[in-house]
Structure 1
Amino acid sequence: MTTPAALLQPEAFLSPLVIDEAVQRALDEDLGRAGDITSIATIPETTQAHAILIARQAGVIAGLPLAVATFQKLSADINIQAHYRDGSTVAAGVHVLTISGQARAVLAGERAALNFVGRLSGIATLTAEYVRHTAGTKLRICCTRKTTPGLRALEKYAVRCGGGFNHRFGLDDAILIKDNHIAVAGGIARVLERARAHAGHLVKVEIEVDTLAQLREVLDSGLADVVLLDNMDIATLTEAVKLAKGRVVLEASGGVTQGTIAKIAATGVDYASSGALTHSAPNFDVALDIDA
């Protein structure tokens, strides 16, 4: 009996439709038109196998619902037991999943399942490290749109598994006015007026500024909900917090690394966004071992 997918997921939501689409795409890519010809040639169809998915390093696990769905799509009769759920901190060497069933299905799904867990656990583990550096502050660390094409929903889910938060998922769920928008629209006041006139009552308006003078102009307008403080040093971020006096949400961006995040958090800004959470996360080392 397979552990229900709902028991594998933390509070972060990952749509079953997204899981199914991602798994189907991965299997189509790997199995192509003829399937796993190595296993078909060497393993009798009725052969059964027992396998263990092992974490080879310590960190935060993510992607287990995708691994489970991968094997289930290849064999409806496969039996999978989850010993951890996404978002769990694991030690090196622990058994994360046990899989029993048709050997061909286990072998055919191995790489896709490991790719999902390795990639997403890597993101979750890196995010958890950032979060650890913000302990005792109000800062929330969040990701950006610098994600692998086609995998954004999965990678942003992994950030949540690591204790981080999500920035916008796309261009369609929030207004974020950047320096090029300001330049084309003709200035801060004009671009904010246009954005506020267009936005529905549930749409937030965020604007990027590079200087304290620009921040003052935004605050004077009263038209922004969030201000992104772009590539400001610690002293300038600290001054920006004093200047804003809680009138807008403040987000630090640019130069947000494990080496700087603690100092950024200490300034009192509300959020810090880092593309590194997704574009630079190292792969988490996991393996699938067959018990012969």
Structure 2
Amino acid sequence: MINYGRFRSILAERHDQVLVLTLNRPDRLNAVGDDMHEGLEAILADLHNDSDIRAVVLQGAGRAFCVGGDVKGFAEAPVVEKTPYQTMEMVTRSAANLIDRFLDVPQPIISAVHGYAMGLGATLALLCDVVLVAEDAQIADTHVPVGLVAGDGGALAWPLAMPLGAAKYYLMTGERISGTEAVRLGLALKTLPLTELQEQALSMAQRMAALPPLALQGTKKTLNRILRHRSQLVTEIGLQLEAATFLSADHKEAAGSFVEKRQPVFHGR
């Protein structure tokens, strides 16, 4: 049996044929750091070869689903000299791998979103097959405000869920969307009271797990061809541009001002 609980920052709990994955860095509002990125990649790859699991729930511990990349961690991390090529290769490879893993998983994945789902956190939620949100949910792609191109999945997921004009606005500004508004725009299936969110997500996963798996998984695979086609169109260029902005002075200013709790000043460099 696969040990899904081998990562520090992801809790794994089995309910018969349903696997519940909980992002578990509540002190950082489940920011993607420590071994979370690596763990998600590995677990999603494992699921591809595990016929005993027929549905998955992805949720967050504590007060948030996931606030995205660990901006504070970026600023606190020791300086490691990398060439521009090494930086771009690292960013594009890891993000592309994670997107591919989501698209490869045969089982349906339900995200149960409460509190903040920001940046990469929003992408993790929206790459799931069904998105349920609590009434307190706040969803945003916050790449641009921290000086980065929204390239790690936002340009893939958001325009498929809402009109292109609306997706452009929210991706370019990083403005937050409430749980109710997320349902109205098509980002989420339904809004639930926070106290019912995880129970309802598990119940939905159990209902899906009871369906004929070949039919269910074949339907998902067919529909994911749409995502794959769109991914071929936008993901490579988006990740390359995001990687380039990791090297920008504006991104360094955004990370520094976040830690120092001051207003950033950007110069387009």
Shorter-chain-normalised TM-score: which range? under 0.3
TM-score by length of 1: 0.22
Structure (1 or 2) with the larger CA radius of gyration: 1
Q: Which of the two has greater helix per residue?
A: 2
TM-score by length of 2: 0.24
